[in-house]
Amino acid sequence: MSTLSLDYLIREPKIKLAKNPLILLLHGYGSNEQDLFSFADELPDEYYVISARAPYDLQYGSYAWYAINFDANQNKFSDNEQAKSSRDLIARFLEELIANFPIDANDVTLIGFSQGAILSYAVALSYPEKIKNVIALSGHISEPALDENYLKNDLSKLKIFASHGTVDQVIPVDWARKTKPFLDKLGIDSIYKEYPIGHGISPQLFHDFKKWLTE
């Protein structure tokens, strides 16, 4: 459903408040909005849970937030212009959601997986006034995706939970390990955890980030 900037799935809050907090789910490269939405019902009852579909269609139900291209030596290159465009699109989509649903604009959590995690960091650091929490799963911080003036932003209210699998074959754990020092330098309240998994979400990880969110 959508008259908004992005297609999405929605789970209404099971506990209705005057204004409800929002969890926005951002899937990974080559996936779609159904993916993370599969655990929407396990998320806390008071939240709107909205899963967005990335804008670039890779065919056969696969979508991306930005293209990943390979050169002759199989080196990967991210399309940073598309990443920035998706970053701004997500920020606009959040404004539209707040205009269309009784969402508490001061209580927005992004949960992103892989490319969705990279975008979650980009949105939060570029538009920190729009985001309260980030749960970044199997991603890393890509500086080219950030707003060039992000250091001028007030990042003091952000809270970030980052996690990575130690045997991730898609995004090396070494990339993710740079996250905490990067965020610490910016004075952002964050925790970083590793799990003995590949590129995915384990029950233990799900339990840990849900606990972090509710506390």
Question: Quick count: other Cβ atoms within 10 Å of Cβ 7?
Answer: 15
76 in a structural domain: yes
35 within 8 A of 63, measured Cβ to Cβ: no
143 in a structural domain: yes
pLDDT of 2 reads 54
2 in a structural domain: no
For residue 174, the surrounding DSSP H or E stretch is helix 173-176
Question: For residue 152, which amino acid is it?
Answer: K
pLDDT of 75 reads 74
| pLDDT digits (tens), the chain, 215 positions | 457 999 999 999 999 999 999 999 999 999 999 999 999 999 999 999 999 999 999 999 999 999 988 777 767 778 999 999 999 999 999 999 999 999 999 999 999 999 999 999 999 999 999 999 999 999 999 999 999 999 999 999 999 999 999 999 999 999 999 999 999 999 999 999 999 999 999 999 999 999 999 99
3 in a structural domain: no
Question: For residue 170, which amino acid is it?
Answer: V
- Looking at the structure of the chain, the number of domains it has is 1
CB-count burial class (<10 Å; 0-12, 13-18, 19+) for 105: middle
107 in a structural domain: yes
What's the CATH code of the domain at 151? 3.40.50.1820
pLDDT of 78 reads 83
72 in a structural domain: yes
196 in a structural domain: yes
How does strand 56-59 pair with strand 68-70? unpaired
pLDDT of 61 reads 95
* Largest CA-CA distance found in the chain, in angstroms, rounded: 55
Nearest-angstrom CA–CA distance, 19 and 75:
46
**Which range marks the domain in which residue 117 is found?**
8-214
Report the length, in residues, of the chain: 215
115 in a structural domain: yes
pLDDT of 71 reads 73
